[in-house]
Amino acid sequence: MACSARVLGTAWCFLVVISAKSVPGQQGLVYGLPPPCESQIYCTGDLLKQVQLARLYSDDKHFVDMALRESPELVLKKFQQLVNVTPGGSLSKEQLQMFVSSSFSDPGQEFEAWEPEDWTSSPHILAKISDQKLQAWASDLHAKWKSLGRKIKDDVRTRPAFYSLIYVPHPMMVPGGRFIEYYYWDSYWVIEGLLLSEMAATAKGMIQNFLYLVERHGHVPNGGRVYYLRRSQPPLLALMMDAYLAHANDTQFLRDNIHLLEAEYEFWQRNRSVRIAAGDKNHTLNYYNVRIGEPRPESYSKDWDLAADLNKDARQELWAELKSAAESGWDFSSRWFLSWPPPLPATLKDTKASAVVPVDLNAFLCKTEQLLASFYRILGNATKAAEFQAYLERRLDAVQAVFWNEAAGVWLDFNLLKQQPNPAFYPSNLAPLWTDCFSDQAAVDRATQYLEGSTALRYKNGLPTSLARTAEQWDLPNAWPPLQHMVIAALAKSNSSRAKEIAFALAQNWIRTNFALYKKYQVMFEKYSVVGDGEPGTGGEYQVQEGFGWTNGVVLKLLDLYGDRLTSGSHSSPYCAWIVAASIFLLNLK
Ligand SMILES: *[C@@H]1O[C@H](CO)[C@@H](O)[C@H](O)[C@H]1NC(C)=O
Ligand SMILES: *[C@@H]1O[C@H](CO)[C@@H](O)[C@H](O)[C@H]1NC(C)=O
């Protein structure tokens, strides 16, 4: 076996990419494909380009969220007339400003204020929280659902061409801040939070919206805008259904929609799968891969600038990779850079997300297979249940063969171009624990030791996203709610007492950070910094956002799990912080 580098164990040495068709960069980028949507205003074309490159607004998302005052045909015709009478065809910033003001209206008007009908003032979770301050805070967060709720105006349904918003029939919770529409993977934690707030009807409506999108578009887009089409996000729809069914006895809803859950799964299998040989066996796994070689409409000028000194092919390649990274939900991160491990001369320009076969994506699809098998069992369809059980077993095999790294004692992303695992620490390396995607129970202790052995546990404000400082938002020093929840929930449900202790310590840290900043700013943020005294997260391509859907959902989940033990923080009880800090220190020593 030709393999010299053994630093990371032996398993990966046997990995060879066998399908040339699947090798990123070699597959002949399909730039002949249509743009994300047909719209020559919101997705592609000269109007979009001229307006976005004129930088009329500080955030490019502003323009593509504006609704049309007249039909798209008329707006495009007027724009063309202006272009025709302008020497060189490039309108001045003033002309563009006037044109946009007369043809478009301000963002956000496609929604109606909506207060959830199933909101009540005291869900049971509140009574489970011993610390008075945390209880009052949970009550505030519960009340926030009333301000994060949105309903789409009927005009969006009857005149969809006037809007970039994709119509869905049921009201929803939005993340907040810049994110005024619904998002895919955010919604999983929002739905978990809603269920703890005993708002099952609202949660169900959100799931119905995603099913509606699968029915019409064949996949769940990244978020509720036409410019997010053809790019999805981490697939958690089956998990949403499972969470809902745990709170509501609604087998009929499952029966009516199982085909759509299956259709979403098929999208990932058909459009996002890659074949890898490990040892003497071929495996099929999934990756994020969006072959659209144009700037992201909502971040057009940034993508344009980033590619400024590249030739046409390299430019399109980079844009496709940025979209692939956006599909991962981790936009952006050194995790997708081709050059690793850090320290990094690498930057965003080195993003090569389609070269990465990610542990977490495959852990989510593994869960989807488990759930579809179990859903079909519930519905009494043994044939289909057996089919998904077989997919699950195939996945377990592949996850073990391709991702499990015996030397590291954890699962690692696999890089197709380097034909190596990525040795860097990411909380996502533990995702198979969360989704029960492993057969050998020894993995629990090994992965726990891996976590203890990394320096990630030393940060008292939360588990960092990576250990690389890049100024990208999915890297050090930022910590994100969904990653805290996945790791905490994974360790908490294990049989290992050590894993459980770490889970609690992490939960306590996270609650303290969130609570302290809530006291200071009266808001919840989308991410937090693990360094310093605790601050909102930083970096990336936009200012940190407040609201915030998944943050609130994760706090409610942790309060549900540990409400009898969690305390509100060092302000009221300095000794507690010491005890937590000391126990994390001791955990690290072992
Ligand atoms: C998925 O693949 C099918 C068949 O190749 C194609 O028609 C469809 O447009 C693809 N969907 C997306 C969202 O890329
Ligand atoms: C199981 O599901 C498949 C696909 O939907 C269907 O063709 C078949 O008739 C179902 N079998 C039973 C027993 O319901």
Residues 567-579: tens digit of each pLDDT? 998 544 444 445 5
Q: Looking at ligand 1, which atom is closest to the CA of residue 33? A: 9
Q: Please give the pLDDT value at position 28.
A: 41
CA 382 – CA 300 distance, rounded (Å)? 49
Ligand 2 centroid distance, CA of 374 (Å): 14
Ligand nearest to the CA of 383: 2
Q: Please give the pLDDT value at position 341.
A: 55
Instruction: Name the residue of 265, 383, 388 to mutate for ligand 2: max ligand atoms within 8 A of Cβ.
Output: 383
Ligand 2 centroid distance, CA of 380 (Å): 9
Give the active site residues.
331, 526
Ligand 1 centroid distance, CA of 260 (Å): 16
End-to-end CA distance of the chain: 36
Q: Please give the pLDDT value at position 14.
A: 34
Q: Please give the pLDDT value at position 41.
A: 97
CA 213 – CA 201 distance, rounded (Å)? 19
Residue nearest atom 12 in ligand 2 by C-alpha distance: 381
Q: Please give the pLDDT value at position 20.
A: 31
State pLDDT tens for residues 69-96: 999 999 999 999 999 999 999 999 999 9
For each successive 10 residues of the chain (590 residues), what is the average pLDDT? 33 34 41 74 97 97 98 98 97 98 96 93 97 98 95 97 97 89 97 98 98 97 97 98 97 98 98 92 97 96 97 96 98 89 74 98 99 98 98 98 98 95 97 97 97 96 95 96 98 97 98 95 94 81 81 98 92 47 58
Its pTM stands at 0.91
Helices marked H in 248-358: 251-271, 300-306, 312-327
Strands (E), 443-566: 478-479, 528-529, 535-536
Q: Tell me if the bond preceding 104 is cis, omega within 30° of 0.
A: no
| Cβ-based neighbour number of residue 574 at 10 Å | 10
Do the Cβ atoms of 196 and 557 come closer than 8 Å?
A: yes
Residue nearest atom 2 in ligand 1 by C-alpha distance: 271
Q: Which helix (H) or strand (E) holds 273?
A: strand 273-278
CA 506 – CA 194 distance, rounded (Å)? 23
Residue nearest atom 7 in ligand 1 by C-alpha distance: 271
Query: Residue 230: CB within 6 Å of ligand 1?
Result: yes
Ligand 2 centroid distance, CA of 396 (Å): 25
Ligand 2 centroid distance, CA of 349 (Å): 48
Instruction: Name the residue of 21, 219, 264, 271 to mutate for ligand 1: max ligand atoms within 8 A of Cβ.
Output: 271
Q: Looking at ligand 1, which atom is closest to the CA of residue 219? A: 13
Query: Residue 387: CB within 6 Å of ligand 2?
Result: no
Q: Looking at ligand 2, which atom is closest to the CA of residue 379? A: 14
Q: Please give the pLDDT value at position 32.
A: 55
The sheet with strand 172-173 has its strands ordered as 111-113, 149-152, 172-173
Strand partners for 284: 275
Ligand nearest to the CA of 258: 2
